Structure 1
Amino acid sequence: MRALTVSSPGIAPTLTDTSIPLPDRGEIRVKIAACGLNFADLLMVKGTYQDTPPLPFILGMEVSGTIDSLGEGVTGFAPGDRVAVFGGQGGLAEFGCFDAARAVKLPDTMPFTEAAAFQVAYGTSHLALDHRARLQPGETLLVLGAAGGVGLTAVEIGKLMGATVIACARGAAKLEAANAAGADHLIDASTQDIRAEVKALGGADVVYDPVGGEQWEAAFRACNPEARLIPIGFASGDVPQVKTNHLLVKNLSVLGVYWGGYLAFRPDVLTASLATLMQWHAEGKLRPHVSATFPLEEANKGLDMLRDRRSTGKVVITVQDL
């Protein structure tokens, strides 16, 4: 089979030929239709992600496809089932073996391209806003990087949860994507003063931040008393340092969120969250935004688009037709 393999830190992954894997006990083998790209994939290529596998490894964190083989002891699934899986690696290949506990069956209403773009982005935002920040109807949610893979989902989910959503992104095209996702107010991070604009809108009760750097600092200063700040990632490359004395004065809370980490210590939280999200999708309340697709042999073009921040929503690699 073909697979996109990382062999050396900082070197672009290459398409290689390798053997089709056999599922171990508790695993399913998936004939992969599509793989969603994530910012974490870029960090894995650099070797700086917290869960980077030992070299060499096949890139690709989340996939969709059809089960074609079951390992010993697997129950609840059958060959032919349409599934999505967060495997953490191994997704940019024609076949992959994954822990069955990480797989979810797909509703017939969800195409493979949307399924490959769904779990990490929507799962992260729902977990962050519902389980961690306890976002309440009527509160004001500020979403930084609001046109990115997770940012757009935070806009959508925030609106579904009854919040007033302020979307912050760079440029008219990205702001239009956030507007289409339901944002109530738009801030252009390239031309406007984030702190001043948010304060003029009454301040933020919850801040969702996949960017970090100067935008975090501006959002921090625009928080209302008892606001909750959620660092999701650091796309700017600048990891901000929290001034705890300022937390004290304004009674602020900073709530870290690492979606994949819940697989190890609270998988029930992810299961419940994904069930809610799948139901919302089936009811037409969520509209996954895939801005670009590339075939497997052009996967590096997709990674470049992500790296250069030229995408809105998700970039998906189509692996094979099913």
Structure 2
Amino acid sequence: MRHYLVHTKGEPPELRDAPEPEPGPGEVRLRIEACGLNFADLLMVDGTYQDTPDLPFVPGMEVCGTVEALGEGVEAPAIGSRVACFAGQGGLAEAGLFPARACVAVPAAMPSEIAAGFIVAYSTSHVALTWKARLQAGERLVVLGAAGGVGLTAVELGARMGADVVAVARGPDKLEVARAAGAHHLVDAEAPDLRNRLRDLGGADVVYDAVGGKLHDAAFRAMRPGGRLLVIGFASGEVPQPKLNHLLVKNVDLLGLYWGGLLKSHPHVVTDSIASLFSMYERGDIAPHVSHVLPLEKADEALELLRRRKSTGKVVVRP
């Protein structure tokens, strides 16, 4: 089989041949049909992610594939079943070993390239908006990076929860993608005086921030008293330094969400979220957006799409 291997932090992964692995206790071997890429995969390759695996490793946090072998003690999922899995690594390959407990059955009507990029992005936004921010119908939700992998799901889910959604993204093409996902207001991230643009719309009850940097600062200054600021990630590369006295004066809640950490600390929150989202998909309530599907030999190009902000929604690699 072939896989992309990271040997040195900060160096691009290399496509290598390797023997097919045999599953150990608690593991399954998946014939990988698709791997959904995330910004965290770039951080892992660079060695700056909080959960970067030990070297060498195969990047690719989430996959969809068919179970073809079971390790000792594994009774489910059954051989031949199609599952999605978030394992943190191993996805950029033709086959891989994954924990059986991390595999979830995929709805029959969901294509593999959708299932591979579905769990992390949608559940991140679903948990953030419902469990963390307690978003209510009629509130104003400002989404920074609104055309990205997680941002676009926040736009879509926020609109379906009855919020007044403000999408902040770079350029008319990305803003159009956000509009199609349900955004009610479109603001170019490069527009001058973003704070006043947001204030003119009435300010923000909830800010969903997967970007950080200057956008974070502007959105925070446009928040309404009693608002909630969701810290999802720092795609800009700049980690904001919030002023706690401003949080105090404005009665603003600062809420961090690391979805991967919830798998250990609050696993029921994640499993309930995924079940709800699969049901929403089957009812046709949500429509995942994949902008690029590339073959395994072009995985480096797929990663570059994320690095250069050239994608919208998800980028997926198919072996």
TM-score (norm 1): 0.98
What residue is the counterpart of 1:156 in the other structure? Answer: 156
Query: CA offset at residue 48 of structure 1?
Result: 0.5
Q: Which runs of 5+ in 2 are unaligned?
A: none
1:151 & 1:207 partners in 2: Cα distance?
A: 11
Q: Read off the aligned partner of 2:107 and give its amino acid letter.
A: P
2:103 & 2:280 partners in 1: Cα distance?
A: 18
1:38 & 1:276 partners in 2: Cα distance?
A: 22
1:242 & 1:189 partners in 2: Cα distance?
A: 20
What residue is the counterpart of 1:274 in the other structure? Answer: 274
Q: Deviations over 1:21-72 (max 9, x none)?
A: 1111111111100001110011011101000011110111000011111112
The alignment of Structure 1 onto Structure 2 pairs a total of residues equal to: 319
What residue is the counterpart of 1:5 in the other structure? Answer: 5
Q: Deviations over 1:288-316 (max 9, x none)?
A: 11001110001000011110001011100
2:177 & 2:243 partners in 1: Cα distance?
A: 33
SS of the residue aligned with 1:260? helix
What residue is the counterpart of 1:215 in the other structure? Answer: 215
1:228 & 1:109 partners in 2: Cα distance?
A: 36
SS of the residue aligned with 1:233? coil
What residue is the counterpart of 2:252 in the other structure? Answer: 252
Give runs of ≥4 in structure 1 deviating > 4 Å: none
1:284 & 1:76 partners in 2: Cα distance?
A: 28
Q: Read off the aligned partner of 2:45 and give its amino acid letter.
A: V
Q: Deviations over 1:157-200 (max 9, x none)?
A: 10111111000001000000000000000000112432111111
What residue is the counterpart of 2:97 in the other structure? Answer: 97
2:63 & 2:128 partners in 1: Cα distance?
A: 22
2:24 & 2:261 partners in 1: Cα distance?
A: 23
Query: CA offset at residue 76 of structure 1?
Result: 3.4
What residue is the counterpart of 2:186 in the other structure? Answer: 186
Q: Deviations over 1:129-157 (max 9, x none)?
A: 11111111111100000000111000001
SS of the residue aligned with 2:238? coil
What residue is the counterpart of 1:73 in the other structure? Answer: 73
SS of the residue aligned with 1:255? strand
1:29 & 1:192 partners in 2: Cα distance?
A: 51
SS of the residue aligned with 1:240? coil
SS of the residue aligned with 1:57? coil
1:112 & 1:71 partners in 2: Cα distance?
A: 23
SS of the residue aligned with 1:238? coil
What residue is the counterpart of 1:121 in the other structure? Answer: 121
Aligned pairs for 1:25-174 (under 5 A) are 25-174=25-174
Q: Read off the aligned partner of 1:144 and give its amino acid letter.
A: L
1:280 & 1:193 partners in 2: Cα distance?
A: 37
Aligned pairs for 1:294-305 (under 5 A) are 294-305=294-305
- State, as a whole percentage, how many aligned pairs show the same letter: 60
2:45 & 2:278 partners in 1: Cα distance?
A: 30
2:14 & 2:218 partners in 1: Cα distance?
A: 40
Q: Read off the aligned partner of 1:313 and give its amino acid letter.
A: G
1:104 & 1:160 partners in 2: Cα distance?
A: 25
Q: Read off the aligned partner of 1:308 and give its amino acid letter.
A: R
* 1:232 pairs with 2:239: no
Q: Deviations over 1:217-245 (max 9, x none)?
A: 00000001110101111111110001000
SS of the residue aligned with 1:80? coil
Query: CA offset at residue 80 of structure 1?
Result: 0.9
Q: Read off the aligned partner of 1:168 and give its amino acid letter.
A: V
Q: Deviations over 1:93-146 (max 9, x none)?
A: 111111111111001110000001101110110111111111111111000000
TM-score (norm 2): 0.99
2:21 & 2:267 partners in 1: Cα distance?
A: 26
1:317 & 1:193 partners in 2: Cα distance?
A: 38
